[in-house]
Amino acid sequence: MTCCIVPTLRYRDAPAAIAWLCRAFGFERHLVVTGDDGVVEHAQLILGGAMIMLGSVRQSPFDAVQTTPAAVGGWVTQSPYVIVSAIDAHHARAIAAGAEIVMPLAAQDYGGKHYACRDPEGHLWNFGSYDPWADPAV
């Protein structure tokens, strides 16, 4: 069985979000599909072997069940954890791009370092050097 989880997000200003995610976190554009009105219908960004998908907020069946943090008072119920090898440099890059750090970079009892931040539209992101797949206990 093949399994891969790809987080999906909605942004009010998806073109600005794409540019910021690439600048702040190092994502690269894999696919960006825009409508005639410039709305991002679907985008895929990659970071190493990981991918996220995102799109502009609009009226669609998907938007009937998922929204932005701003639409619900800044709350989120899920957040991606992204494994990065050069965590100190990644943290510095995110700060330089204006990420709101909500949990500072710190060593973790279970190994590696971790930090959490919000992007300009309030989505919560976790980045860490701990790789649970490499843990011999797994």
Euclidean distance between CA atoms 102 and 126, whole angstroms? 10
Euclidean distance between CA atoms 96 and 41, whole angstroms? 29
pLDDT for res 1: 67
- Considering only residues 17 and 132, tell me which one the structure prediction assigns the higher pLDDT: 17
Under 8 Å between Cβ of 32 and 43: yes
Tally of structural domains, the chain: 1
Does residue 92 lie in a domain region?
Answer: yes
Does residue 47 lie in a domain region?
Answer: yes
Per-residue pLDDT band at 138 (split at 50, 70, 90): very low
pLDDT for res 75: 93
Does residue 3 lie in a domain region?
Answer: no
When pLDDT is averaged across residues 87-115 and rounded to a whole number, the result is: 97
Does residue 25 lie in a domain region?
Answer: yes
Residue 48 sits at φ, ψ, to 5 deg, of 60, -125
Does residue 137 lie in a domain region?
Answer: no
Q: Give long-range contacts, CB 8 A cutoff, 24+ apart: 21-25.
A: 21/45, 21/52, 21/119, 23/97, 24/93, 24/94, 24/96, 24/97, 24/98, 24/99, 24/119, 25/82, 25/90, 25/93, 25/94, 25/97, 25/125, 25/127
pLDDT for res 137: 57
Per-residue pLDDT at 109 exceeds 50: yes
The CATH number covering residue 99 comes to 3.10.180.10
The model's pLDDT over 49-79, given as tens digits with 9 standing for 90+, comes to 999 999 999 988 989 999 999 999 999 989 9
The model's pLDDT over 4-53, given as tens digits with 9 standing for 90+, comes to 889 999 999 999 999 999 999 999 999 999 998 889 999 999 999 999 99
When pLDDT is averaged across residues 103-120 and rounded to a whole number, the result is: 96
104: containing domain: 8-128
